[in-house]
Amino acid sequence: MYLIPVMIFMTGFFFSCVNDLDKVKKITTHPNNPDETSEMFHVIFTDSGYATIEIFATIAETYSQPSKLTKFKDGLKVNFYKDDGTVGSVLTSLFGEIDDKTGNITVRDSVKLVNLVEEKTLETEVLYWNKSGDSIYTNKAVVITSPDMILSGIGAWTTPMFDTAQFYKPTAKIFLKD
């Protein structure tokens, strides 16, 4: 006698629980949260089977809204490879961002670009680079040090290999050795 009302109640109970995924997403996601998060991020870009660029990041966050961006937080390192397959220069910063639509890359905070062969270092707070292009530039204060001189200025342009550089507004040139 009690079995039929209990079965009706249990049937109603089991079929009343529905998870609407759209409602769950609205409750559990925030528009400012990343779509993907990667720890110990490592990617290699190649051209004709040869490594050209290698990127390391502690944390990489990918966003799809309002535009497709990848943000590198807590440290970024980029190796630029020479034609012979060796690393020619290394770019480091504490923060980086890639706009996947345009290919523009911005690195900020304690930015260093080091040419390993010539032992020279470019230091600034912001660098801009298009991964499909061959130039890296800034409009901020820049200091370039090498074994025989220190150069400083406001704004500079260079290549990813940092084999040449041009200042927009040089402010000092000091030779340390004769």
pLDDT tens track for 22-68: 665 555 566 677 788 889 999 998 888 889 899 999 999 998 877 78
- Residue 91 belongs to a domain: yes
- Residue 174 belongs to a domain: no
Mean pLDDT for the chain? Answer: 85
- Give me the domain span that covers residue 101: 33-135
CATH, residue 84: 2.60.450.10
Kindly report, residue by residue over 24-37, the tens digit of the pLDDT.
Answer: 555 556 667 778 88
CA 40 to chain centre: 13
Number of domains in the chain: 1
- Residue 18 belongs to a domain: no
Specify the pTM.
0.78
pLDDT confidence tier of residue 142, bands split at 50, 70 and 90: very high
- Residue 70 belongs to a domain: yes
Do 133 and 106 form a contact (C-beta atoms < 8 A)? Answer: no
- Residue 111 belongs to a domain: yes
- Residue 168 belongs to a domain: no
User: Quick check: 17 pLDDT over 60?
Assistant: no
